[in-house]
């Protein structure tokens, strides 16, 4: 049996005095154990279990990319350090594939887990598939739980938001999750490689005969619907990833 903690006597709570008023606070001895359990149930894929700020490399050969990436990393790191700060409760990382969005988002998640926050990682497509099969009477209970988790987890990470063709069902489901979390001020960390004019993506063509502006790529609004998109911007600090070479290719090239 483990030794009884000298700070809390094994109760998990210690008495602390703040401004002359004493109150109970979770003891650190329990925090380490809680963090370990939370990490286990976070759903972070093994490929990203080592994605931390320490393992995030800045390109040495390209000063512009170096600066841009350092800035993006600092923003994400600051968000994680100050969490739960009093600013926006979420983070939205936008950028091209392979620029390190998922890596940075998971790095933040690891910090929040170590602080004792319950974080759940969901791949966007996988989450939608599970929610959908959860409606099926024959589905297993974990699929049925997926939707609850997405709504109520303390911190939700949605990876590759919008990587799915839109149907009314998808739009409604995503809007419901994001609206619920926004209303409850529940943190959301999302990544996407879709474009958005408010994240600096330009319009390539403006044709007065067309009712809509035309963008170079599919936009976030087109994929998740305008309501979910506007809520996302309301609740999230937006981090625009700089244009850097796809890290997977960079690594492959070095080996060659």
Ligand X SMILES: Nc1ncnc2c1ncn2[C@@H]1O[C@H](COP(=O)(O)OP(=O)(O)O)[C@@H](O)[C@H]1O
Of the ranges 94-102, 122-130, 142-150, 202-210, which one interacts with ligand X (CB under 6 A)?
Answer: 94-102
Q: Does 98 bind ligand X (CB under 6 A)?
A: yes
Q: Which of 30, 75, 102, 192 binds ligand X (CB under 6 A)?
A: 102
- Distance (Å, whole) CA 142 – CA 131: 10
The smaller minimum CB distance to Mg ion, of residues 126 and 139, is found at: 126
Q: Which of 101, 110, 186, 231 binds ligand X (CB under 6 A)?
A: 101
| Least distance CB 28 / Mg ion (angstroms) | 33
Q: Does 175 bind ligand X (CB under 6 A)?
A: no
Instruction: Name which of residues 212 to 251 contact ligand X (CB under 6 A).
Output: 247-248
Residues that bind Mg ion (CB under 5 A): 101-102
Q: Contact, 242 vs 69, CB < 8 A?
A: yes
Q: Does 51 bind ligand X (CB under 6 A)?
A: yes
- Distance (Å, whole) CA 188 – CA 236: 8
Residue with tokens 């170079």: 216
Q: Does 34 bind Zn ion (CB under 5 A)?
A: no
The site partner of 27 among Mg ion, Zn ion, ligand X, none (C-beta below 5 to 8 Å per kind) is Zn ion
| Least distance CB 34 / Zn ion (angstroms) | 11
What is the sign, positive or negative, of the torsion defined by CA atoms of 141, 143, 146, 147?
Answer: negative
Of the ranges 24-32, 41-49, 95-103, 202-210, which one interacts with Zn ion (CB under 5 A)?
Answer: 24-32
255: its two tokens: 């080996």
Of the ranges 55-63, 181-189, 198-206, 209-217, which one interacts with ligand X (CB under 6 A)?
Answer: 55-63
| Least distance CB 248 / ligand X (angstroms) | 5
CA nearest neighbour of 155 among 196, 193, 199, 106: 106
Q: Contact, 173 vs 157, CB < 8 A?
A: no
The site partner of 90 among ligand X, Mg ion, Zn ion, none (C-beta below 5 to 8 Å per kind) is none
Q: Strands 90-94 and 21-26: what pairing?
A: unpaired
DSSP line for 142-187: HHHHHHHHHHHSSEEEEETTT-S---HHHHHHHHHHHHHHHHTT--
What is the sign, positive or negative, of the torsion defined by CA atoms of 42, 103, 193, 227?
Answer: positive
Q: Which residues pair with 82 in a beta bridge?
A: none
Q: Does 99 bind ligand X (CB under 6 A)?
A: yes
Q: Contact, 241 vs 93, CB < 8 A?
A: yes
The site partner of 81 among Mg ion, ligand X, Zn ion, none (C-beta below 5 to 8 Å per kind) is none
Residues lying near ligand X in the complex (CB under 6 A): 51, 55-57, 95, 97-103, 191, 247-248
Q: Which residues form the interface with Zn ion (CB under 5 A)?
A: 5, 7-8, 27, 29
């Amino acid at each position: 049996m483990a030794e009884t903690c000298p700070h809390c006597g094994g109760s998990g709570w210690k008495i602390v005095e703040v401004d002359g008023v004493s109150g109970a606070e979770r003891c650190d001895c329990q925090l380490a154990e809680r963090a370990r359990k939370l990490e286990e149930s976070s759903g972070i894929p093994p490929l990203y279990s080592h994605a931390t700020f320490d393992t995030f490399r800045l390109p040495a050969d390209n000063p512009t990319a170096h600066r841009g990436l350092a800035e993006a990393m600092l923003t994400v790191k600051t968000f994680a350090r100050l969490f739960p700060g009093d600013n926006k409760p979420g983070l939205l990382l936008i950028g091209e594939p392979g620029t390190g969005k998922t890596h940075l988002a998971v790095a933040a998640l690891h910090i929040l887990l170590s602080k004792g926050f319950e974080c759940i990682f969901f791949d966007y497509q996988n989450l939608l598939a599970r929610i959908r099969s959860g409606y099926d009477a024959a589905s297993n209970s974990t699929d049925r739980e997926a939707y609850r988790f997405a709504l109520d987890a303390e911190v939700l990470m949605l990876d590759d938001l919008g990587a799915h063709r839109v149907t009314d069902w998808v739009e409604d489901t995503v809007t419901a999750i994001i609206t619920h979390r926004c209303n409850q001020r529940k943190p959301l960390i999302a990544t996407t490689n879709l474009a958005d004019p408010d994240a600096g993506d330009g319009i390539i063509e403006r044709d007065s005969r067309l009712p809509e502006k035309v963008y170079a790529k599919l936009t976030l609004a087109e994929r998740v619907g305008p309501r979910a998109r506007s809520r996302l911007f309301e609740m999230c600090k937006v981090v625009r990833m700089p244009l850097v070479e796809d890290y997977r290719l960079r690594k492959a090239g070095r080996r060659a």
